[in-house]
Every structure is written in structure tokens, then in C-alpha cells.
Amino acid sequence: MLLFAASVPTARHHRDQRIHHRIDVNLSDRAITRSDHTVLIRDIDTVFRGEKIRGRMVQPEGPAAPLPPGVQRYPRPGEMVVSPALHKLLAAPGNGLLRERLGHPIVGEIGDAGLLDPGEYVFYLVANHMAADAGQTRRLDHFGKAYAKKPLSPELVLLCIAGIVVLLLPVGAFIAAAVRFGGERRDRRLAALRLVGANRGTTATIAAGEVALSTLAGIALGAILFITGRQFAGTVQIEGLGVFTEDLTPQPLLAALVVVAVLTLSLGITQLSMHKVAVEPLGVVRKSGSTSRRLWWRIALPLLGLILLRISVRSPADLHGTSGVALVVIGMLSLLVGVTAVLPWAVERLTRLFAGFGPLPWQLALRGLQLNGDSATRSVNGIAVAVAGAVALQTLLTGLSQNPVDSTARGAHGPSASTRVAIARLDDGGTPGAKYAPVLATTPGVQRAIEFKEVSVSPLNGGFPQAVLIADCAHLRLLAQLPSCSDGDAFLTAPPSTDTMPDMTTWAAGMKLRMDMYGPRWTVPDITATVRATPAYPAAVSSERTLLATPRAAGHTAIAHAVSTVGLTYATGFKDVQDHIRTAAARLDPAFSVDFPGKSQGDPALDGVRRALLAGVTAVLVLIAASMLLGALEHVRERARVLSVLVAFGTPRRTLATSVLLQSVLPVGLGLLVAESIGTALGSTLLDLAGRPVTHNWSTLVAIAGIGAAASLGAALLTLPALWRSTRPQGLRHE
């Protein structure tokens, strides 16, 4: 796990390089003229059942046209090359809609250099009818662009800091617990050495040597497992995130730091654990007493963490400074380590409160926790810290993903809950007589299709882009409530009264505007009336006013620069209705783009960080579950003789099994309760630092706790076979 973490900078660097190498936009000021070294390209992205598919339509203009990364040669017109993941998706049963949408011959696959990860869906379709002057088509003479590094936003910096602490701290807790596996047998060996003349210094040195050798062996085994596992990295995806084999290359400095940190932690924990043990020639005495654990300093740790977090960041810019980051990290560590400090006290209070009551398995479990509470809480600390960190991350992610201005909220003029509006656009260069609505209207699930032309205009000195919709009176009546209409009229839609966003548009008869970004000038016609949009209008809840114009009012120039658009009203209850619409549009023209305005697009950077962190949390929870299994097996093995004696005296195995399960479940339940409390407090504090309102997704938080409980219960159940073996009569033998 730590070697994987040491590979993250390399993986990110390789991913950034692949992103830069396949940039297909002319970001320079120079105009590119047609030559044998140019290619036309156009975005034809699509979505299938929630999965994004990156598509490009390309047309080489000469034999030396540049090739996209990962593509060996351009196929013939009408053919396409796809990524291996998309090839499998197209061949999978039940994906006939996608095969119909991308129904072009596949003549090759895209190499790793053209993909962000092995699971990315990408295709390149070669065409021979692309026009260089079309609005969405661009000409390139090379692929790739080197970007200067831009700092992350303070919110994402905070999220990354939280992710690193949350992912690595449970690993440290696991190492601290694993170092103490077999501690009782080690102490008995050291007592035997004291009997033959070794002094305390010698036994301490021998204990340190044993731990150092076993730690080095574990590091070597971990390195072998990492090297072996990275060969299969391309076949694994967590939260939609994957890496190539070469991406998992640890940075040498970080790998050396991993070795040093693990050794130092192992030796330190061993020396601390021996302070409570007196290893004498005639046996081992464990220091204990009737004094209860004190709560004040255990509560002081999380309180200190909250105070540090409160004073660490006074402005978002502090997150880019070393001192601000250090205080945030220390504060988070104090809060999460507070879980491991509070949990032993909670277990002790539980055993004291309920001791002497309940059935026999319950009594045995509580007595086992009284005698071995430290070992029980050590095995639970890892899962508790992981859950606390996951809860904090989820709370932070929920708050950051909330858009302060929810533009998707529907007012009184929006569609009903059972219907939605889609917008299909095609930049066909103003092709006369093109009729797309009748075909799209026959799509399963579509209730109505309204066709019109759409052109974007903006003030001459730059400013907010404004939309003009052009159609005849019959179609305009479907978009708005018109008092009367004749060719030459123009209408202005009024924003809904429930919308509180300011209107940035400026409309005045005779006003000079510019079409598109560099297009010709256009004069606003006389506005006949201000009207209300109908629910079928694609932007019915928009805060901006839109001009609805008849062809005569808009003029021939505006129609020539307009994009063919079809507004669709569809039933949400129809299965795969959005994919049916996309497929129908792609059959008309692969360059058709379909948008669903009611669906929030989210922040791509935040989405990428979110997927990476959730993937890491999933991996950590799996690791901690495995560590709990090892701890439980070690605990059963150390108590094998006691269990055998109990069975020999007539204790039913069912009673012992129930007590062992209870002994594992009770600390886990307390640990999850403490973890949820501290994790929620940490997430709320981090949101406050980011200046966001605190929002909790309680269903997800409960689900995280459920995953932690399921992992713990599964580890406890897997110890039952070892328990059956330990209760045989052979377990009474002792040397």
C-alpha cells in the first residue's frame, strides 16, 4: 500500500503527459492554412448508460497529416479506431444501442499513448465531408500542447491534504498493531534468555533485532507483491479510475522514506510495548492495576485538533503556504489519532458497566475484553481510523460538490417530474430544407420534437453571450405563449419570477451585436412582445432572456450562421430513453450533440480528485479488513490452550464461537460510533475552512459505517475455522 502511495506522483505525471500530448485544439494565435500536414477534427463525444465516451471525427488533408497519439495510421473514410475498453464494451451483450450508434467498421485499436487509463472509452472516426469553416470544426497541424503548471484551487488543496492523511494514517495504525502480533510468545522467549544469563539490555536488543529482521522481511515481501501486482494494474479499476503498469513506479526518494518510516515505527512501537512488561528469568509480569483510564487527555487530542484546524487557515491563500498546510495536517492527525485514544476508554467503560450481567457468551466476551482489551482495540483501531477518515472525506466531498447556485432547480415553468427536456444540436452550416425533428420524434420515449435554428450573439466589445432562436410561427408557439405571430415578428422570453439570478443579457431594437465569436455583425430586430416560455422550451428555467425570431426578422445571414437544433420532450420512465435519443441523433449525423439540461455536469477537477480518494479509501478498507483477520487469527492462536481447557471442562463450542464473535463485534461497534462522531466533526470543520455550508449525506455515511462493520464481521467469521482447530484435545499439550 505504501509503495503504491509512493507511485502516485509518477502516475499523475504520466497522466498529465498523456493529457498534454493529445490536446487537439489550436491554442495559438496563428491561423493554420490547409496543407499536406494538416487535419480537420471535430468533437463527437457521447454518453452510454452514464459512461462518458470521448469521440473525434477526423479528416486528414494530406499524406503527412499528424496522427493522434496511440493511432498508427488513419483508416479509410467511414471506418474508426477505438480503445480496447470501448472495443469490449461494443462487443458486450446487451449493448445493441451503442453498436447501433457507433455502427462503423472497426479497423484498429488505440495504443496506450492515446489513453488516460486502460478503461477509457475513446474512438476516432474518419470522414470525408467535413467543412473547415463549420463552427465546431478546427484545423490542426500537430497534436499536443505543453501547459504551465497551474496551482489547484484552495478547496482541492484541502481535499488532497485530507485524502493523503486519511489514506496513510490507517496504514500506520495497522503497522503499529501488526508489530505486536505474537508479543506474548516473544516475551516468553526473552524470559528463557534471561534464565540463561541475558540482562535486560540484551533482551531489549534481541527484541529490536527480531522486529527489525521481520520488518525487513515484510518490506521485501511487500515489494515482491507490489512488483507482481503492478503487472495486473491495467485490469483493475476502482471508482472508474485505472492506471497502466508503467504508472506504478515508486519515486526512489519516497520508496526509501517508506522503508525508513516502517522500520522506525516498528522499532518505536516495540520499545514502547516493552515498558509495560517485566521480563524476568522465571516468567513474564505484565504491569496492570485497578486504576481506570483517564479521559481528559484522550478528549484533549481531538479538541487540540479542532483548535489547530480553526486557527490554521484564515484565508484560502493560506492553503498554498507551508505553515498553513502543516497546521492542517497536524490538526487532522490529532483528530484521527483521537479515535485510537478514546476507543480503549470506551471499551473499558463498556466492560465495567455490563460486567456480571447477561448470558454466558456475553460474559465470556466481556471478560476477554477486560483481560485483553488492549489487543482488541489495537485490531479495531485501523478500521475505526479508516472509517473516521472516510466519513470526513465524504462530508467534505458532499459540501464541495454542492453548487451554491443550483441552476437545475425547476420552477413553475419547468417540465414535470415524469418528463424532461433534451436539446440536440448539429452545426450543419445552415443546410436548407434539413428536417431532423420528424425522425427524432419517432424515437422511443420521445413525446414531442420542436425544430428551430439557434445562433449565439454577443456585444461588439465582448460580454455575455446571448441566444437567438429562429423558427416559423408554428414552432415558436410551441416554445412560448405568443399573443399573435406573423413572419417578421420577434419575441423576448421573460425569466421565471422564482429565479433570483441576475439577467446578464441586453436586448434593444437596433442594437449591434456580433454572431459567434468572430462572425459578422447582426442588428437586433424590433421586439413585438415579451412572452412566457412553455415547459417544452429547453431553457424554461434560465435566468437569461432569449430572443425568439421568425426567419424574416432574423435575416438570411443569421440563418446561415445558425446551428440546427431540436428541442425534445421525453418520458423519464422509459428504459434507456437518453441512450435511444443519442443513438437516433447519431444515426442522422455522427456530429449531432445531445444535451440534457436538467443534469448537473459537476466540476471535472473535483470529480477526478473525488474518484481518486474514494478508490484509495476502498483499497485501505480492504487492507484493514485483511489486517483484522490476521489479528483475530493471532489472538485465537495465543488463546488456543485456554480454549482447549474450556472445551475439556464441557463448554459448548457454540458458546465459545459466540463469545469470540461478540469480542470482535463490541469494540467494532464502539469504534464505529466514535469514528462517525469524530469523522463528522472533522468533515464539518474542513468545510468551514473552505467557506462552504455544512451538508451531510447521511445515507452515504451510514453506508460507510456499514462497510466497516461488514468488513469486521467478515474477518471475525473467518476466524471460526481456526477456533474449531484450537479447541481440539491436542491443544492441551504444552511445552
User: Which whole number is the average pLDDT over 53-73?
Assistant: 95
* 529-531 and 490-493 beta bridge pairing: parallel
Of all residues in the chain, the percent with pLDDT exceeding 70 is 87
Q: What is the pLDDT of residue 405?
A: 41
Secondary structure (3-state) at 155:
helix
User: Which whole number is the average pLDDT over 102-119?
Assistant: 94
Q: What is the pLDDT of residue 285?
A: 64
Query: Per mean pLDDT, which range of 39-48, 565-574, 640-649 is the poorest?
Result: 640-649
Query: Per mean pLDDT, which range of 190-204, 608-622, 672-686 is the poorest?
Result: 608-622
Q: Which residues contact 657 (CB under 8 A, 6 or more apart)?
A: 720, 723
Q: Is the pLDDT of residue 538 over 50?
A: yes
Domain ranges in the chain are: 24-140, 155-197+281-402+604-732, 419-595
d(CA 166, CA 182): 28
pLDDT in tens, 161-179: 877 887 788 788 778 877 8
Q: What is the pLDDT of residue 96?
A: 93
Q: What is the pLDDT of residue 408?
A: 39
User: Which whole number is the average pLDDT over 647-663?
Assistant: 87
Q: Is the pLDDT of residue 337 over 90?
A: no
Average pLDDT over all residues of the chain: 83
Q: What is the pLDDT of residue 413?
A: 43
Q: Is the pLDDT of residue 358 over 60?
A: yes
* pLDDT range class, residue 410, cuts 50, 70, 90: very low
Q: What is the pLDDT of residue 412?
A: 38
Phi-psi region of 157 (alpha: psi -120 to 50; beta: other; left: phi over 0): alpha
- For the chain, how are helix, strand and coil distributed in percent, rounded to 5? 50, 15, 35
Q: What is the pLDDT of residue 103?
A: 92
Query: Per mean pLDDT, which range of 73-77, 441-445, 618-622, 710-714 is the poorest?
Result: 618-622
Task: Report the DSSP beta bridge partners of residue 492.
Answer: 530, 547
Query: Per mean pLDDT, which range of 45-54, 267-276, 516-525, 594-603 is the poorest?
Result: 594-603
> Which residue would you say has higher pLDDT here, 318 or 727?
727
pLDDT in tens, 211-220: 999 999 999 9
AA identity, residue 263: L
d(CA 222, CA 627): 14
User: Which whole number is the average pLDDT over 411-424?
Assistant: 67
Query: Per mean pLDDT, which range of 106-115, 347-356, 617-626 is the poorest?
Result: 617-626
Question: Does residue 647 contact residue 656 with C-beta atoms inside 8 Å?
Answer: yes
pLDDT in tens, 686-695: 888 877 788 7
Question: Does residue 678 contact residue 302 with C-beta atoms inside 8 Å?
Answer: yes
Alpha carbon 210 to chain centroid, angstroms: 41
Q: Is the pLDDT of residue 229 over 60?
A: yes
pLDDT in tens, 255-282: 999 999 999 999 998 888 777 677 777 7
Q: Is the pLDDT of residue 501 over 70?
A: no
Q: Is the pLDDT of residue 730 over 50?
A: yes
d(CA 314, CA 396): 18
Q: What is the pLDDT of residue 319?
A: 67
CA distances from 411 to 277, 469, 533 (A): 70, 22, 12
Nearest alpha carbon to residue 62 among 43, 80, 84, 36: 36
Query: Per mean pLDDT, which range of 381-385, 588-592, 605-609, 671-675 is the poorest?
Result: 605-609
